[in-house]
């Protein structure tokens, strides 16, 4: 979801520099399905989308969400034995692709199936665009699963009615749209009229996809905030010409801003360098067989003696003695 909304923000004219300081948008983070982008970053992206393209921004973002864009969630949604089965999988595995605070439910009553989608009370700009995007996305996936002619019989949106909602009538294909509802919902009629298909390879694929999704949910973890990213940048730059200016440039902020943020955390550039070197030295000594001279070079020291002095200051031990000391769990 973060990749999709980031691209929507860029498409709405938001500058790359305006996104660079948001934690969780680093390429390595977005490429890892186990890392959760901070909710605050996702909400800010939606605000930028709404600001850059206010009328119908949510619907237009949903139009860019081609099948597969939202990874395993898309396939689980659209390949169920019945449409209702796919909806239930989509509700269960919603946290694989978006903020775990969002909630999707599936209600079957008579011949109607209703999908609801609720979010926390974010800023009004973000809420409006998310509401419209979520319902437009549900309709798009219904059409992916059951054909382009699918039209909902009712749509409810939690935000207040805009001055003009013609774009929503056109997007949903119905005038049965209410605003100010308790939660967002879209209702379909008779999408499972065809007979159930026989069991086959698709059932095995669905099982594999569910196991993969379960693994994602079990092992997902938050992406590092800006301080974690800062320390990662420092660690990568230790063997280079490390400087405040270099790290600030890589984080798309001025040196003064970086110093101010460190001060807000009651730390300093010098203290952070010491801390990162200490952490990296311990890791390299425990997990590699590199000689102390090589480790010193990787940490930006001129020679092994400088590392030994620093390491003794941190731990009261020499690097060699530390390496020989059993770890607590052994």
The DSSP bridge partners found for residue 109 are 112
**Overall fold of domain 226-324:** Arc Repressor Mutant, subunit A (1.10.10)
In tens, the pLDDT along 225-258 reads: 778 888 888 998 997 889 999 998 888 788 998 9
Q: Token pair for residue 247? A: 């790290």
* pLDDT in the model for residue 190: 80
Residue among 98, 157, 102, 95 nearest 124 (CA)? 157
Secondary structure E strands in 45-111: 103-109
Q: Which helix (H) or strand (E) segment is 132 a member of?
A: helix 124-146
- How many other CB atoms are there within 10 angstroms of residue 295's CB atom? 21
Buried b (16+ CB within 10 A) or exposed e, 96-133: bbbbeebebebeeeeeebbbbbbbeebeebbbbbbbbb
Q: Mean pLDDT, the chain, as a whole number?
A: 89
Q: Which residues contact 166 (CB under 8 A, 6 or more apart)?
A: none
Out of 184-188, 210-214, 220-224, pick the least confident. Answer: 220-224
* pLDDT in the model for residue 45: 95
The DSSP bridge partners found for residue 107 are 114
Q: Which helix (H) or strand (E) segment is 255 a member of?
A: helix 255-264
Residue 153 confidence (pLDDT) above 90: yes
* pLDDT in the model for residue 329: 45
In tens, the pLDDT along 155-187 reads: 999 999 988 999 999 999 999 999 999 999 999
In tens, the pLDDT along 35-60 reads: 899 888 999 999 999 987 777 899 99
- How many other CB atoms are there within 10 angstroms of residue 179's CB atom? 15
CA distance 239 to 59: 47
* pLDDT in the model for residue 241: 83
Out of 58-67, 195-204, 207-216, 295-304, pick the least confident. Answer: 195-204
State the average pLDDT over residues 9-14.
Answer: 92
Using alpha carbons only, what angle is made at residue 36 by residues 183 and 47, rounded to the nearest 5 degrees?
Answer: 50
State the average pLDDT over residues 76-82.
Answer: 89
CA distance 51 to 62: 17
Residue 195 confidence (pLDDT) above 70: no
* pLDDT in the model for residue 172: 97
**Judging by DSSP bridges, how do beta strands 221-222 and 35-36 pair with one another?**
parallel
Name the residue with higher pLDDT: 291 or 239: 291
State the average pLDDT over residues 21-33.
Answer: 83
Residue among 74, 49, 48 nearest 212 (CA)? 74
Residue 236 contacts residue 247 (beta carbons within 8 Å): no
Model pTM score? 0.72
Share of the chain above pLDDT 70, in %: 95
Q: According to CATH, where is 1.10.10.60 located in the chain?
A: 226-324
């Amino acid at each position: 979801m973060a990749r999709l909304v980031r691209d929507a923000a860029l498409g709405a004219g938001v500058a790359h520099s305006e996104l660079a300081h948001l934690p969780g948008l680093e390429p390595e983070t977005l490429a890892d399905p186990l890392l959760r982008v901070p909710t605050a970053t996702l909400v800010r992206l939606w605000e930028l989308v709404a600001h850059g393209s206010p009328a119908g921004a949510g619907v237009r973002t949903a139009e860019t969400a081609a099948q597969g864009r939202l990874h395993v969630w898309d396939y689980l949604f659209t390949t169920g034995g019945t449409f209702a089965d796919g909806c239930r999988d989509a509700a269960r595995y919603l946290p694989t692709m978006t903020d775990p605070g969002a909630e999707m439910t599936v209600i079957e009553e008579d011949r109607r199936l209703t999908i609801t989608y609720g979010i926390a009370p974010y800023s009004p700009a973000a809420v409006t665009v998310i509401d419209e995007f979520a319902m437009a996305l549900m309709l798009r996936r219904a059409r992916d699963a059951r054909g382009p002619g699918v039209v909902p019989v009712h749509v409810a949106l939690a935000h207040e009615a805009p001055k003009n909602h013609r774009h929503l009538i056109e997007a949903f294909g119905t005038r049965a749209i209410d605003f100010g509802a308790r939660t967002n919902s879209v209702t379909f009629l008779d999408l499972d009229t065809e007979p159930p298909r026989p069991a086959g390879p698709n059932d095995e694929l669905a099982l594999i996809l569910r196991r993969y999704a379960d693994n994602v949910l079990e092992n997902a973890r938050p992406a590092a905030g800006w301080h974690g990213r800062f320390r990662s940048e420092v660690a990568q730059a230790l063997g280079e010409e490390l400087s405040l200016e270099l790290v600030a440039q890589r984080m798309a902020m001025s040196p003064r801003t970086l110093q101010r943020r460190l001060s807000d955390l009651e730390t300093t550039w010098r203290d952070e360098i010491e801390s990162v070197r200490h952490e990296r030295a311990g890791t390299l000594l425990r997990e590699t067989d590199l000689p102390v001279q090589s480790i010193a070079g990787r940490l930006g020291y001129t020679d092994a003696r400088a590392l030994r002095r620093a390491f003794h200051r941190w731990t009261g031990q020499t690097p060699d003695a530390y390496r020989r000391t059993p770890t607590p769990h052994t």
